[in-house]
Amino acid sequence: MDVHRTKSAFSGPVGRLRSIVQRAIDLLVCIILWCAALVAAQAVREVFVFVPGFVPLAGESPEGFFTFVGSASGLAVMAVLLATGAGSISARAAARRLVDGVGLRLAGTVRQGLRWMAVGLAAAVVLAAVAELVVSLPGLSSVRVAEDPRYVALAQTPNLIRFCYGLIAPAPLEELLFRGPLLAMWLALLTSQSRGGWASRRWVRWWLMAPAIAVSVIVFASLHTMGGSANVAHAAVNGLITAAVTLWQRSLFPALTAHGLYDAYAFTWP
């Protein structure tokens, strides 16, 4: 009996299984860190309750802020413990992969940063123009400003605080939640293409991306029903534009810029 041959026959499947398990753990650590980032982004919205003059717009409260900060910290600790216990990836490496995957790596050059800003500014202008167009379309309804509880709260908040809230509060959570996974999926498909993998054909990539984009846009729009059907239609266009910008630039920063600038405009001059 060939002992070495028998050993290699067993070590092959075991090695592949171990590799699969390690990759699954690596992915789980990244997902937990992504959830921690989402919860932390929600905490950014809640922190405005400590700003003098701010009237809660979406149920923000001091209790909510501390709850979200504690939850984000707990998720981060969970990711570190899982990464340390499994020994397959460090939490720092997982965080780096998450940052790269959802397009949060800072611009490598000043030129790239300026391009992201220009693209984001142009997209914000388009979003503002679409908002004006959608309101005038027949068959779409919108809630009057005086009847919308969000704008009633905004009317009692100073303009500068409203502008800052719109600029930095909603966009990080919504872009991380809806456009981040799309970019991670797109980058994974492009990596598979560069290695000559199963996604080397363009039609395969878009056959997978098109439904993902559609689901993201539909869910995103369905969460904006408070302002009426016109707001839903605009949210759908918003989702399409920010998804296109994100995939085009392979970064979340242009979409964050566009979304933040548009919200700042909408909240300050409703």
Residue with tokens 């709850």: 67
Residues 75 and 164 in one domain: no
Residues 4 and 131 in one domain: no
CA angle 44, 219, 204 (to 5 degrees): 110
How many CA atoms within 13 Å lie on the side-chain side of 135?
A: 11
Residues 24 and 151 in one domain: no
Q: CB burial class (10 A; 0-12, 13-18, 19+) of residue 55?
A: middle
Single residue among 40, 71, 101 that ends a domain in this structure: 101
Residues 118 and 230 in one domain: yes
Single residue among 81, 101, 121 that ends a domain in this structure: 101
What is residue 32's predicted lDDT score, i.e. its pLDDT? 93
Single residue among 65, 84, 101 that ends a domain in this structure: 101
Residues 53 and 91 in one domain: yes
Residue-wise pLDDT tens digits, 204-256: 788 999 999 999 999 999 998 887 888 899 999 999 999 999 999 999 999 99
Residues 124 and 155 in one domain: yes
Residue with tokens 């398990």: 21
Residues 66 and 127 in one domain: no
Residues 85 and 114 in one domain: no
What is residue 147's predicted lDDT score, i.e. its pLDDT? 66
Q: Residue 13: is its pLDDT beyond 90? A: no
Residues 70 and 122 in one domain: no
Stretch among 19-23, 159-163, 263-267 having the lowest mean pLDDT: 19-23
> What is the Rg, in whole angstroms, of the alpha carbon atoms belonging to the chain?
22
Residues 139 and 17 in one domain: no
Label residues 114-136 b or e (16+ Cβ within 10 Å = b): eebeebbeebbebbbebbeebee
Residues 62 and 113 in one domain: no
Threshold 0.85, pTM exceeds: yes
Residue-wise pLDDT tens digits, 90-105: 778 888 888 999 999 9
Number of domains in the chain: 2
Determine contact, residues 268/159, Cβ cutoff 8 Å.
yes
> How far, in Å, CA of 152 to CA of 55, rounded?
9
Domain, as residue range, for 91: 1-101
